[in-house]
Chains A and B, each alone.
Chain A
Amino acid sequence: MSEPIFRAENVSKAYAGHVAIENISVTVPEGSIFGLLGPNGAGKTTFIRIINQITGPDTGTLWFNNEKLDQKHLQYIGYLPEERGLYKKMKVGEQALYLCQLKGLSKKDALQRLKYWFEKFEIQSWWNKRVEELSKGMAQKVQFIVTILHQPKLLILDEPFSGFDPINTNLIKSEILELKKNGTTIIFSTHNMGSVEELCDHIALINNAKVILDGEVSEVRNRFRTNTFDIDFKGSLMELSSSLGTYGELIERTSDQEKLGATVRLVNGATTNQLLGNMMRSVEVTGFTEVIPSMNDIFIEAVERYNRENLAV
């Protein structure tokens, strides 16, 4: 694992009696895409605001590049908030320039880079338009450019795809991967689990103010394996289910005209070979794959399990 670019240790924050986040510790390796997941109201936004130093933590320490997180690090951080907005009456170009200068870019650099990006996204003609003349998606594109223009080392994207059509979603997705390739670390907060599987290397799942699950995506998915297998076979379902014996149990069957299928879970500590051996004696097995849980399943499973265990009275 590469050096962490950002680390939070036991960070807590409460608002007037309501605990927003509690003892959050996460480590974001440099050059990775880190998924920050969690149900609505779990405390993600509070945590993101603490990273951006919009609010301070009550307790805990934050580290950026092995230095205590400080106001001077803000120029290395880019932030695209979930609730996006620009000055409606201001012209696009002028506004982009202003926001980039606030991040510490010189006017000359900002102009040069803005020109590059406006050309790349083919939006040069928007430069002198007022923001209120743009559509929502157009404004978001501008805001995405502004967020990454100062070439932040750490980029925080909160629901970056909301409001984009599929074409623009793909455009942004490929830009994110491009940024990653160039060494940018990205903290990515979303409810879209498909994009988490597609993009993220690491995740942390926050529920009810706490981190309830974190790690590398592949490792997390492994952790949630349930020894469940999809089987394609020829023969009769009756024979298959009786062949399972004490090794497995039938969870689901899927059959169409051409082929029969079933989902089976190993039980009583049996091995796949034991199960397969039994089955092969009764039916012709044409396919055998392990069911790896999707991030969506993991999300629901982890949150529900936590709530069952901790919130039940």
Chain B
Amino acid sequence: MNKIGLIIRREYMTRVRKKSFIIMTILGPVLMAALFIVPVWLAMNEEDEANILVIDDSFLFNERMTDTDKIHFHFPSDRIGLDSAKRQMIASENFDAVLYIHEKIMTSTAGIQLVYDKQPGINVIRYIENTLENDIEKWKLAKSGIDQATIEAAKTSVSLVTTKLDEVGSESKSNTELSMVIGMFSGILIYMFIFLYGVQVMRGVIEEKTSRIIEVIISSVKPFELMMGKIIGIALVGLTQFLLWTILSATLISGSKALVEQHFATEDPTTSIEQAMSTAQTLAPESEEAVAAELNQAAIEDIFANIEMINFPLILFSFLFYFLGGYLIYSALFAAVGSAVDNEADTQQFMLPITIPIIFSFVMAQVVINNPESPMSFWLSMIPFTSPIIMMVRIPFGVPAWELALSMLLLVIGFVATTWLAGRIYRTGILMYGKKISYKELWKWLRYH
């Protein structure tokens, strides 16, 4: 086995066998899922019960405001004024707030008040506002002679079928939302990968330097071989982890999907997911429910059609390319930083110029995603330091082949150049001890022969 192979093997094996790697590999997908589920779950459970006493001087809403699971409306049996309602709220534990609706509500919505002794959540306020708005709108429409059925019939939903027409004239349908999700997701993954594993490269270099084993090793192999061996070894660790995560997530998702379907099946065999989705329209008459279900069916088929339209082999290939390219270009810099310092605490000053382009591309990704074909998007997807994240965001929207090829070529050139520069800093830095290194010093190292 040649020497660089030995180094790669050591870097890979020592990391893959670590307990922390095994734990992270198992916990990763669970944590990722938790990242999405927990906030939603918390938001659902955090919501407090709200008991609202309604003083309705307009007599329009009496008993007409529908309660939810958490929000309850109470209408006093006797007519009481606002002041006595307030006193009642403070005196009794039963009410959290008083909603006051004045009699001129149909002409002016100003002056509707909510007085509380316990701050109601934003959801409570929004729900009250929506209910009032909807009801008032309906009455106003009814007053001008439009009945409920007409309103329902007039409700329309438009979802554009966007089609990209390229120079050759062939059409390809695209789905902007799906492209956004795919683009953003791969961008985030690359961003995380660069940081997680780039820092590991840096730590590895510092470890070799502080343990002083470095001098023994570079009396057997060239410093550049050691640096590349480390970078490649850790890249393989990252790919392994990514692969395991994918497999685990897929198992987890298909497992939970099966569980959900089973759950629905036992609970009510007639309830399909489509029908569950249309419960929001339960107010609609029977016949329309069927129509709605059909529409949903069509929408789901549309989504699947869109998924099929996305060029997955291309996305997967580019993802792997930019995943590795982005990591390689930055990890060389991380290695150079590690070599220039004596311990991790000293890395701060050199980390900044490295982290800024990564964070910048991550921030810009959110701009690019809204306008994937702008000149700025183009240039950011060409510069090797931003292209791994930005190009990945653009690809699901469709990128001309020459742009992709140019960006990839530039990334390879950028990688070679960065690694060459980093290697020069590295081979001097690893033998420097007890010296506070400045940028001026690094510049000198670059010029040593």
Residues of A within 8 A of B (CB): 16, 49, 52-56, 71, 74, 77, 79, 81, 83-90, 98-99, 101-103, 143, 146-147
Tell me the minimal C-beta distance from A159 to chain B in angstroms: 13
Q: From A51, which residue of chain B is reached at the shortest CB distance?
A: B219
Q: From A81, which residue of chain B is reached at the shortest CB distance?
A: B215
- Stretch from B121-129, B206-214, B322-330 contacting the other chain: B206-214
Tell me the minimal C-beta distance from A81 to chain B in angstroms: 4
* B219 adjacent to A54 (CB under 8 Å): yes
Q: Does B14 contact A (CB under 8 A)?
A: yes
Q: Cα distance A86–B207 when bound, in Å?
A: 10
Question: Pick the contact of A81 from B6, B10, B212, B220 — CB < 8 Å?
Answer: B212
Given contacts A16-B444, A84-B212, contact A49 B431 (CB under 8 A): yes
Q: Does B216 contact A (CB under 8 A)?
A: yes
Question: Pick the contact of A98 from B6, B207, B222 — CB < 8 Å?
Answer: B6
Q: Cα distance A111–B10 when bound, in Å?
A: 17
Q: Cα distance A83–B214 when bound, in Å?
A: 10
Most buried by A among B207, B208, B212, B219: B219
* A74 adjacent to B444 (CB under 8 Å): no
Tell me the interface secondary structure of chain A in the complex.
Answer: loop
Q: Does B218 contact A (CB under 8 A)?
A: yes
15 additional contacts (CB under 8 A) given A55-B431, A71-B222, A85-B214: A54-B215, A54-B218, A54-B223, A54-B431, A74-B219, A77-B219, A79-B216, A79-B219, A83-B212, A84-B216, A85-B212, A86-B213, A98-B6, A99-B216, A99-B217
B211 surroundings in chain A (CB, below 8 A) = 85-88
Q: From A103, which residue of chain B is reached at the shortest CB distance?
A: B220
Q: Cα distance A222–B345 when bound, in Å?
A: 54
* B217 adjacent to A85 (CB under 8 Å): no
Please report which residues of chain B, range 1-27, place their CB below 8 angstroms from some CB of chain A when the two chains form the complex.
Answer: 1, 3, 6-7, 10, 14
* B212 adjacent to A101 (CB under 8 Å): no
Q: Cα distance A49–B219 when bound, in Å?
A: 8
Chain B interface residue number, banded: 20 to 34
Residues of B within 8 A of A (CB): 1, 3, 6-7, 10, 14, 207-208, 211-223, 431, 444, 449
B212 surroundings in chain A (CB, below 8 A) = 81, 83-85
Q: Cα distance A126–B267 when bound, in Å?
A: 62
Question: Pick the contact of B216 from A53, A81, A88 — CB < 8 Å?
Answer: A81
Question: Pick the contact of B217 from A49, A53, A90, A102 — CB < 8 Å?
Answer: A102
Q: Cα distance A98–B216 when bound, in Å?
A: 12
Q: Cα distance A87–B444 when bound, in Å?
A: 30
Tell me the minimal C-beta distance from A32 to chain B in angstroms: 21
A49 surroundings in chain B (CB, below 8 A) = 215, 431
A71 surroundings in chain B (CB, below 8 A) = 222
* A102 adjacent to B14 (CB under 8 Å): no
* A102 adjacent to B213 (CB under 8 Å): no
Q: Cα distance A84–B217 when bound, in Å?
A: 11
Q: Cα distance A266–B7 when bound, in Å?
A: 64
* A101 adjacent to B1 (CB under 8 Å): yes
